[in-house]
Amino acid sequence: MKRLFNILLVAGLFAVTPAIAQGTFSVQYSMGFATGDTKSFISTPSFRGATIEYRNLVTSNISVGADVGWNVFYERRASDTYTNGTVSLSGVQYRYVNAVPIFIALDYQLKPGEKINPFVGLGIGTLFTRRNTDMNLYTIQDNVWAFALRPEFGLLYNASSALDLIIAGKYNYGFGAQGMAAQSYFALNVGFVFKKD
């Protein structure tokens, strides 16, 4: 999973570097809070996550671009008997979810050019989910790519002509696919937006 993320990160950086002069590039820390089936599998929040974004202004208040994120959820379950299909095992379970949302995005800024600029956005793309259950010597792993949507709301704070601070809430929703139920989580992101000077 780390290798996949590193490849996506490097590819994303090379893809957006020539275009930074025409738009904005953002690096954000992401905290994840599972919902739905994801929360049934792992109830604890994720404090391991990151997002990179590129946006290009189409008009004074509409921008389009792309996002790549990564959140890692983890939970240790107490010693018990767990059943998966027709198999039951007893012991301590370690559960992991690696979620990688990849979106094409559209944002609408409510007060462009002002010190505090609220915005709303929508992303359409895919959510890669890797679910692992480790128990004793056994691992159950599911890897699923699913169609996904991501509504977003946030604030941009104009720190300088070249830098904004961002805080954003994103709801990542991956539809059910390949036998896995819909996976979803709310992400709270904070970070830096580097602008054309």
123-175 residue pLDDT tens? 999 999 999 989 888 888 999 999 999 999 999 999 999 999 999 999 999 99
Q: What is the pLDDT of residue 4?
A: 55
Q: What one-character DSSP code corresponds to residue 46?
A: B
- Burial status of residue 10 (CB atoms within 10 A of its CB: 0-12, 13-18, 19 or more): exposed
- pLDDT tens-place string over residues 23-57: 899 999 999 999 999 999 999 999 999 999 999 99
User: Does the pLDDT at position 15 exceed 80?
Assistant: no
Residue type, 60: S
Stated length of the chain: 197
What DSSP state is assigned to residue 21? G
Average pLDDT over residues 72-84: 85
The H helix count followed by the E strand count for the chain is 2, 8
Q: Which pTM does this prediction carry?
A: 0.83
Residue-averaged pLDDT of the chain: 89
| Overall CATH class of domain 2-194 | mainly beta
